Amino acid sequence: MTTVSMTVNGKAVSAEAAPDTLLSDFIRESLALTGTHVGCDTSQCGACVVMVDGSSIKSCSILVVQAEGAKVTTIEGLASDGELHPMQKAFHENHALQCGFCTPGMMISAIDLVNKNPDLSEADIRHGLEGNICRCTGYHNIVKAVQAAAAEMKG
Protein backbone atom coordinates (compact mmCIF):
# COMPACT_ATOMS: atom_id res chain seq x y z
CA MET A 1 0.00 0.00 0.00
CA THR A 2 1.15 3.51 -0.72
CA THR A 3 -0.35 6.80 0.27
CA VAL A 4 -1.57 8.93 -2.61
CA SER A 5 -2.54 12.56 -2.36
CA MET A 6 -4.23 14.74 -4.92
CA THR A 7 -6.83 17.44 -5.28
CA VAL A 8 -10.20 16.11 -6.34
CA ASN A 9 -12.96 18.55 -7.19
CA GLY A 10 -11.08 21.28 -5.35
CA LYS A 11 -10.56 19.28 -2.16
CA ALA A 12 -7.28 17.78 -1.00
CA VAL A 13 -7.58 14.04 -0.57
CA SER A 14 -5.18 11.48 0.71
CA ALA A 15 -5.72 7.73 0.85
CA GLU A 16 -4.00 4.40 0.97
CA ALA A 17 -3.98 2.42 -2.23
CA ALA A 18 -2.30 -0.64 -3.65
CA PRO A 19 0.22 0.52 -6.22
CA ASP A 20 -1.58 -1.29 -9.06
CA THR A 21 -4.89 0.48 -8.37
CA LEU A 22 -6.39 2.19 -11.40
CA LEU A 23 -7.38 5.81 -11.00
CA SER A 24 -10.96 4.84 -11.94
CA ASP A 25 -11.19 2.29 -9.11
CA PHE A 26 -9.64 4.73 -6.66
CA ILE A 27 -12.21 7.38 -7.55
CA ARG A 28 -15.16 4.99 -7.32
CA GLU A 29 -14.08 2.90 -4.37
CA SER A 30 -11.72 4.88 -2.16
CA LEU A 31 -13.34 8.26 -2.75
CA ALA A 32 -16.88 6.91 -3.25
CA LEU A 33 -17.35 9.25 -6.21
CA THR A 34 -19.54 6.88 -8.18
CA GLY A 35 -20.41 9.33 -10.94
CA THR A 36 -17.31 8.12 -12.78
CA HIS A 37 -18.32 4.89 -14.50
CA VAL A 38 -16.49 1.84 -15.74
CA GLY A 39 -17.88 0.43 -18.97
CA CYS A 40 -15.06 -1.73 -20.28
CA ASP A 41 -11.74 -3.34 -19.52
CA THR A 42 -9.82 -2.32 -22.63
CA SER A 43 -9.85 1.49 -22.30
CA GLN A 44 -12.25 1.78 -25.22
CA CYS A 45 -15.55 3.14 -23.96
CA GLY A 46 -14.78 6.46 -22.29
CA ALA A 47 -17.33 6.07 -19.46
CA CYS A 48 -14.49 6.69 -17.00
CA VAL A 49 -13.16 9.96 -18.41
CA VAL A 50 -12.14 12.59 -15.85
CA MET A 51 -10.08 15.75 -16.03
CA VAL A 52 -6.52 15.46 -14.80
CA ASP A 53 -4.63 18.75 -14.71
CA GLY A 54 -6.98 20.26 -17.23
CA SER A 55 -6.95 17.44 -19.78
CA SER A 56 -9.50 14.68 -20.18
CA ILE A 57 -8.17 11.20 -19.61
CA LYS A 58 -9.63 7.72 -19.39
CA SER A 59 -9.19 7.11 -15.69
CA CYS A 60 -9.05 3.34 -16.26
CA SER A 61 -5.92 3.84 -18.33
CA ILE A 62 -3.69 5.23 -15.60
CA LEU A 63 -2.66 4.10 -12.16
CA VAL A 64 -3.66 6.20 -9.23
CA VAL A 65 0.00 6.73 -8.35
CA GLN A 66 0.46 8.46 -11.70
CA ALA A 67 -2.04 11.06 -10.55
CA GLU A 68 -0.08 11.83 -7.39
CA GLY A 69 -0.25 15.56 -6.77
CA ALA A 70 -2.62 16.15 -9.69
CA LYS A 71 -5.76 18.24 -9.89
CA VAL A 72 -8.60 15.90 -10.75
CA THR A 73 -12.12 16.92 -11.70
CA THR A 74 -14.85 14.32 -11.85
CA ILE A 75 -18.47 14.71 -12.89
CA GLU A 76 -19.35 15.59 -9.29
CA GLY A 77 -17.09 18.63 -9.54
CA LEU A 78 -18.46 20.14 -12.76
CA ALA A 79 -21.20 22.27 -11.28
CA SER A 80 -20.10 25.10 -9.05
CA ASP A 81 -22.31 26.36 -6.22
CA GLY A 82 -25.26 24.46 -7.63
CA GLU A 83 -24.81 26.23 -10.98
CA LEU A 84 -24.57 23.67 -13.77
CA HIS A 85 -21.65 23.80 -16.18
CA PRO A 86 -22.80 24.92 -19.66
CA MET A 87 -22.12 21.39 -20.91
CA GLN A 88 -24.41 19.90 -18.27
CA LYS A 89 -27.11 22.41 -19.13
CA ALA A 90 -26.75 21.72 -22.83
CA PHE A 91 -26.95 17.95 -22.37
CA HIS A 92 -30.16 18.41 -20.40
CA GLU A 93 -31.72 20.89 -22.79
CA ASN A 94 -30.85 18.90 -25.90
CA HIS A 95 -31.84 15.48 -24.52
CA ALA A 96 -28.28 14.30 -25.03
CA LEU A 97 -28.59 11.52 -22.46
CA GLN A 98 -30.87 8.58 -22.01
CA CYS A 99 -29.60 5.99 -19.52
CA GLY A 100 -26.92 8.40 -18.35
CA PHE A 101 -24.18 5.82 -18.06
CA CYS A 102 -21.88 7.26 -20.72
CA THR A 103 -22.84 10.82 -19.82
CA PRO A 104 -20.21 11.80 -17.23
CA GLY A 105 -17.31 10.66 -19.42
CA MET A 106 -18.94 12.04 -22.53
CA MET A 107 -19.41 15.51 -21.00
CA ILE A 108 -15.89 15.71 -19.65
CA SER A 109 -14.43 14.67 -23.02
CA ALA A 110 -16.63 17.27 -24.69
CA ILE A 111 -15.55 20.02 -22.29
CA ASP A 112 -11.92 19.25 -23.03
CA LEU A 113 -12.64 19.35 -26.76
CA VAL A 114 -14.33 22.73 -26.56
CA ASN A 115 -11.65 24.13 -24.25
CA LYS A 116 -9.01 23.20 -26.76
CA ASN A 117 -10.92 24.34 -29.84
CA PRO A 118 -13.84 26.69 -29.18
CA ASP A 119 -14.68 26.91 -32.90
CA LEU A 120 -15.02 23.23 -33.55
CA SER A 121 -17.11 21.90 -36.45
CA GLU A 122 -19.60 19.05 -36.33
CA ALA A 123 -16.94 16.77 -37.81
CA ASP A 124 -14.47 17.89 -35.12
CA ILE A 125 -17.00 17.00 -32.44
CA ARG A 126 -17.77 13.60 -33.92
CA HIS A 127 -14.12 12.81 -34.40
CA GLY A 128 -13.19 14.20 -30.99
CA LEU A 129 -15.78 12.05 -29.21
CA GLU A 130 -14.99 8.78 -30.96
CA GLY A 131 -13.34 7.52 -27.76
CA ASN A 132 -16.66 7.72 -25.91
CA ILE A 133 -19.25 5.10 -26.73
CA CYS A 134 -22.92 5.84 -26.19
CA ARG A 135 -25.30 2.97 -26.89
CA CYS A 136 -28.50 4.95 -26.30
CA THR A 137 -28.61 8.26 -28.12
CA GLY A 138 -27.18 7.62 -31.56
CA TYR A 139 -25.00 10.73 -30.88
CA HIS A 140 -27.24 13.16 -32.81
CA ASN A 141 -28.33 15.03 -29.70
CA ILE A 142 -24.90 14.78 -28.11
CA VAL A 143 -23.43 16.62 -31.08
CA LYS A 144 -26.17 19.23 -30.83
CA ALA A 145 -25.52 19.67 -27.12
CA VAL A 146 -21.79 20.10 -27.59
CA GLN A 147 -22.43 22.73 -30.27
CA ALA A 148 -24.80 24.56 -27.93
CA ALA A 149 -22.38 24.38 -25.02
CA ALA A 150 -19.49 25.52 -27.20
CA ALA A 151 -21.46 28.61 -28.18
CA GLU A 152 -22.22 29.37 -24.56
CA MET A 153 -18.71 28.65 -23.29
CA LYS A 154 -17.38 31.12 -25.85
CA GLY A 155 -20.10 33.60 -24.90
Q: Which residues bind other proteins (CB under 8 A)?
A: 33-42, 44-45, 47, 74-76, 78-79, 84, 88, 91-93, 95, 97-104, 107, 122-123, 125-127, 129-130, 132-143
* CB 138 to ligand FES: min, Å: 9
Provide the pairing of β-strand 11-17 with 2-8.
Answer: antiparallel
- For residue 88, the one-letter residue type is Q
What is the distance between the alpha carbons of residues 148 and 152, in angstroms, rounded to a whole number? 6
Cβ-based nearer residue to ligand FES, 40 or 118: 40
Which of residues 59 and 137 has its CB atom nearest to other proteins in the complex? Answer: 137
Give me the least distance between CB of 66 and other proteins, in Å please: 19
Name the residues that contact ligand FES, by CB under 6 A: 38-40, 43-48, 58, 60, 97-103, 134-137
Query: Which lies closer to ligand FES via its Cβ, residue 80 or residue 105?
Result: 105
Of the two residues 4 and 78, which places its CB atom closer to other proteins in the complex? 78
